[in-house]
């Protein structure tokens, strides 16, 4: 079967040239006679792969020198716990913005470690918008402020960086990191699970300001202590080496395409193709406030929900896969990360138009 356009939210589609390169290097990486999966993480070859991945990520995001870049196990969900374990630094309160499913998950986990102060929430409108900065109220004693900069299920993206003054800002950027340039210096910590916009599942990236680490709470397991991992180059234990290698290939691919400013241009154009059509039709509906619509995850519904099944079945027949919305949201969702080509987005909109013509 030919490759499909995969609109899944994660694990998500990967750039085809990256998969081809990984396939070509599978049995014999650069004359070593072994696969990256079989290499010692202490050996010269893997240390080189790891170092290049970090250097390329630093270059893409222009990460300032006083930030550590970590590649860690446990996905983004491990960070829901690691952030409070490491960043409370003796305080008892952390502030969280509640903007949907993933911030809710981060809040539930943080409550095991501290008092959670809800600085802002969009629960009043079923999480269809990003609460404006004027409406945030941050407990001045909070150890940090956490928000989910792109809500993968709700399709709500913060297109601005909140100002939290001297209180460190923490972002779960899992589903839009590397989709646009990011001013890392505005954050205390940024984290992202890989399987949306970076690489395969099994690794999460943490970018953390150096002065915030080294004061983990005493019961923090060593592998969950940012300082321990920073001092061990993320290799306190065996790292998820193959996932780091593939993430590194994705970073090289992004650099070759022209970096994140160029990627952002493409992502704006791709999202516009879908939203322009959603705005002109009555047949489909986008629930998200216009100013806060995500460029990466686009939830939409058919006004006539009885057509959902036919829509998904016919889309699949056209090689458009994984369009079913999250089970908590219903309807449809098109995730169009960096690796989704413009041709895939055009094929989707073309199919949606045709479906409307036939059923509208
Ligand atoms: C997918 C996702 C997560 C969870 O990631 P895991 O790697 O499965 O732990 C957390 N936050 C956001 C915003 C996500 O999109």
How many Å apart are CA 62 and CA 182, to the nearest integer?
8
| pLDDT given for residue 327 in this prediction | 85
72 C-beta closer than 6 A to ligand 1? no
Atom 5 of ligand 1, nearest CA residue: 76
Residue 286 C-alpha to ligand 1 middle, in angstroms?
23
CB of 155 closer than 6 A to ligand 1? no
| Residues pairing with 300 in the sheet | 332
Count Cβ atoms below 10 Å from residue 342 Cβ, excluding itself. 12
pLDDT at 88: 98
Question: Is the minimum distance from the CB of 175 to ligand 1 under 6 angstroms?
Answer: yes
Domains, the chain, ordered by start: 17-256 (3.40.640.10), 258-359 (3.90.1150.10)
Q: Which of 174, 195, 198, 335 has most ligand 1 atoms within 8 Å of CB, for mutation?
A: 174
Tell me if residue 196 is catalytic: yes
Instruction: Return the ligand 1 atom nearest residue 80 CA.
Output: 10
Query: Which residue among 196, 225, 270, 324 is the active-site one?
Result: 196
Overall pTM surpassing 0.95 (yes/no): yes
Q: Quick check: CB of 102 below 6 Å from ligand 1?
A: yes
CA distances from residue 212 to 82, 85, 87, 189, 251 in whole angstroms, order as listed: 13, 12, 7, 9, 26
Give the pLDDT confidence score for residue 328 in this predicted structure: 83
Active site (annotated) includes residue 172: yes
Could you say which residues of the chain have pLDDT below 50? Answer: none
Q: How many whole angstroms from 74 Cα to the centroid of ligand 1? A: 10
Q: What is the dihedral of CA 55, 294, 305, 328, to 10 degrees?
A: 60
User: In this predicted structure, what is the pLDDT of residue 330?
Assistant: 85
- Give residue 1's pLDDT: 61
């Amino acid at each position: 079967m030919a490759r499909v356009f995969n609109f899944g939210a994660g694990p998500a589609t990967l750039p085809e040239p990256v998969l081809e390169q990984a396939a070509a290097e599978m049995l014999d990486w650069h004359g070593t006679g072994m696969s990256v999966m079989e290499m010692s993480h202490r050996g010269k070859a893997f240390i080189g792969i790891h170092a290049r991945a970090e250097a390329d990520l630093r270059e893409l995001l222009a990460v300032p020198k006083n930030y550590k870049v970590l590649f860690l196990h446990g996905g983004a969900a491990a960070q829901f716990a690691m952030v409070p374990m490491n960043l409370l630094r003796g305080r008892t309160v952390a502030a969280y913005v509640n903007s949907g499913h993933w911030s809710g998950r981060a809040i539930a986990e943080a409550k095991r470690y501290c008092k959670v102060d809800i600085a802002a929430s969009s629960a009043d409108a079923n999480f269809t918008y990003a609460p404006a900065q004027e409406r945030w109220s941050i407990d001045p004693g909070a150890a940090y402020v956490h928000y989910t900069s792109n809500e993968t299920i709700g399709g709500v993206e913060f297109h601005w960086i909140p100002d939290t003054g001297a209180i460190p800002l923490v972002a779960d950027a899992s589903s839009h990191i590397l989709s646009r340039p990011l001013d890392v210096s505005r954050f205390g910590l940024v984290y992202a699970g890989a399987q949306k916009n970076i690489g395969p599942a099994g690794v999460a990236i943490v970018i953390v300001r150096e002065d915030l680490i080294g004061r983990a709470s005493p019961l923090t397991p060593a592998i969950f202590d940012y300082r321990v991992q920073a001092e061990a180059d993320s290799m306190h234990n065996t790292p998820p080496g193959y996932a780091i290698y593939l993430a590194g290939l994705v970073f090289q691919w992004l650099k070759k395409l022209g970096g994140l400013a160029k990627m952002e241009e493409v992502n704006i154009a791709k999202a516009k193709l879908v939203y322009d059509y959603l705005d002109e039709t009555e047949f489909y509906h986008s629930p998200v406030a216009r100013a806060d619509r995500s460029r990466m995850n686009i939830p939409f519904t058919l006004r006539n929900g009885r057509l959902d099944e036919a829509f998904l079945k016919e889309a699949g027949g056209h090689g458009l896969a994984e369009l079913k919305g999250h089970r908590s949201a219903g309807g449809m969702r098109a995730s169009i990360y960096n690796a989704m080509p413009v041709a895939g987005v055009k094929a989707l909109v073309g199919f949606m138009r045709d479906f409307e013509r036939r059923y509208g």
